[in-house]
Amino acid sequence: MKQKIRFSLVYRDMWQSSGKYQPRVDQLAAVAPHIVEMGCFDRIETNGGAFEQVQLLYGENPNTAVREWVKPFNKAGIQTHMLERALNALRMYPVPADVRRLMYKVKKAQGVDIARSFCGLNDHRNLELSVKYAREAGMISQAALSITHSPVHTVDYYMDIVDHLVEYGADEICLKDMAGIGRPASLGELVRRIKSKYPGIIVQYHGHSGPGMSVASMLEVARAGADYLDVAMEPLSWGMVHPDVIAIHAVMSDAGFDVPEINMDAYMKVRTLTREFINDFLGLFIDPRNRQMTSLLIRSGLPGGMMGSMMADLKGVHQGINAALKARNKPEMTEDELVVELFREVGHIWPMMGYPPLVTPFSQYVKNVALMNIVSLVNGKERFAMIDPNTWDMLLGRAGTLPGPLAPELIELARKEGKEFYEGNPQDNYPDALDTYRKEMEENGWPLGPDDEELFELAMHDRQYRDYKSGMAQERFLKEIADKQAELSKVAPAKMPRRKLLLSPETGTAFLYSGETATYWPEEEMINPGEKVRKGEIVMYIMIGKTIREVVSDRAGTVKKILVRSGDKVNKGDPLIEFS
């Protein structure tokens, strides 16, 4: 009897790995019936962290979207699965335990069947509550291994984690090969050992295409006994995304596996609709280079899912880097050269930072440090001039145990800054918070929603949810669309009235800038009142979730007052600098 291979369509992740935004709820509802008609999917990835945050960013209620999106799959008997980040749940930083617990109750009530839970550091302690709360809510708990390749990430290393996850009660194991750099033979051996030791457990493989190894990896894990493979489809397959279901179907069929037939008429309908969504507005935020594959990713280990934000980062600092190079009589860099330089810097500092698997949010932490290191180095400064608080939490053990040792330079830097290393359970650092958010909703007259889903949304994404409720999110989104369309059509933006205040271009975390290099400390190196700045001069940075943006002065003038401190949270439109 042939071994069955089942497919899961990662429709959400196709968009996440391609660009900034996801389809609207009306678009998801339109495409879902045709995905069902394809007849080849036993599972669909329907929601998760970035998916729901992005909807809030453009003014759409993610709870409504999840309910509408999963409904056709529930009716057809196709299982739905979400992605969550253990200690960080659906966001980029840690979440109180009571909010984490509510998440599973909400998602189960909305029709989501499976909770795929991963810890970016592979600290099984962070996954224990994920498994417990998912099962308690009646969901299938799929605990994921964040796959990477390093001297410490061996098959034995991963099997030790699997042993703990099975002990906690995980129903399934996922190999989350987010950068696609897991070596096929090693992945096959890992699946073989999981299946040998725990023959009843389901194994699912998720591998991005970026470096070009995922097809070989899929064949190896299938031969070793894997049950499900995550796949994508045109026009968003391959590149930094995932292999196309048609190709994987052909490979598995030729290898002797029992695979379901694909309704190609329905495939073409989904393909056409997806293209229409791209042409509507989503394509405005898809960098063409995310359609390419590159084996340069093998050394850097950066995941396909962050390529969109990374390319935006590079555009954001490219001008400043070249200005610094020019000032020092050095040749300027093209964007392609800057990409290679970033890959090189990530490869250099990754071992120094303890080999954290490069998956959200830790891939962003390492990438951000690498990017700011490049800025520092081109200005003749040292590495690690800026490390944000969330990255420090990772380095100090507050997010979990790092797989490898920290470099002596970082240990000494922590000592100089008076920072303490932490060895306790990370969850203990974050007290329950639902009562506080419940009170805020009552004071604002906001309904808690069915199954407390609106309460959950505020507690999980408080800043984005407040902007959604006020209408600011939709207003910013529509302006962003208009600005992007104007940029692409080369229409000059409307002239802004002259102001004495420099306003924040985005919502994020402020990092002040000395004019030579970005810095999180010390205070005396920051831009100071009385200093003259040129129009177009970089005065600080804004860290926006995964990305970094330069803030440039919109005028020549003298700084009268700095209105923020490094590390301050700022909203779009907040005043940053006052000029005299």
What is the distance between the alpha carbons of residues 237 and 18, in angstroms, rounded to a whole number? 9
Q: In terms of Cα–Cα distance, which of 577, 520, 570 is closest to 554?
A: 577
Whether a cis peptide bond, with omega within 30° of 0, leads into 288 is no
pLDDT band, very low/low/confident/very high, at 306 (cuts 50, 70, 90) = low
pLDDT tens, residue by residue, 74-94: 999 999 999 999 999 999 889
pLDDT digits 0-9 by tens, 98-113: 999 999 999 999 999 9
pLDDT at 402 over 60: yes
Query: Rounded CA gap, 331 and 397, in Å?
Result: 40
Distance CA 245, CA 222 (A): 15
**Average pLDDT of the chain to the nearest whole number:** 89
pLDDT above 80: residue 438: yes
Residue 131 scores a pLDDT above 90: yes
Q: Look at the pTM and tell me if it is higher than 0.95.
A: no
Mean pLDDT to the nearest integer, 187-200? 98
Q: How far apart are the first and last CA of the chain?
A: 80
Residue carrying structure tokens 């439109």: 573
pLDDT of residue 546: 56
Weakest-pLDDT range from 43-52, 125-134, 535-544: 535-544
Residues 455-511 pLDDT 10s: 999 999 999 999 999 999 999 888 888 888 887 766 544 443 444 788 888 777 887
How do residues 138-159 score in pLDDT, each as one tens digit? Answer: 999 999 999 999 999 999 999 9
Residues 162/151, Cβ–Cβ less than 8 Å:
no
pLDDT at 518: 39
Higher pLDDT, 401 or 557: 401
Q: Which domains does the chain have, with CATH numbers?
A: 6-286 (3.20.20.70), 296-429 (no CATH), 495-579 (2.40.50.100)
Please identify which residue in the block is written with the tokens 């420090």. Answer: 392
Please tell me the predicted confidence (pLDDT) of residue 522.
37
Beta bridge partners, 292, equal none
Q: What is the largest CA-CA distance in the chain?
A: 80
Whether the CB-CB separation of 221 and 193 falls below 8 Å is answered with no
178-192, 204-218, 291-305, 564-578 — which is least confidently predicted? 291-305
- Above 50 in pLDDT, residue 523? no
When pLDDT is averaged across residues 374-378 and rounded to a whole number, the result is 86
The percent of residues in the chain predicted with pLDDT above 90, rounded, is 59
Confidence of residue 513 (pLDDT cuts 50, 70, 90): low
Token pair 């725990």 is at which residue?
198
For range 162-183, the mean pLDDT: 96
d(CA 346, CA 369): 8
Confirm if 543 and 511 have CB atoms less than 8 A apart.
yes
pLDDT at residue 493, as a whole number = 46
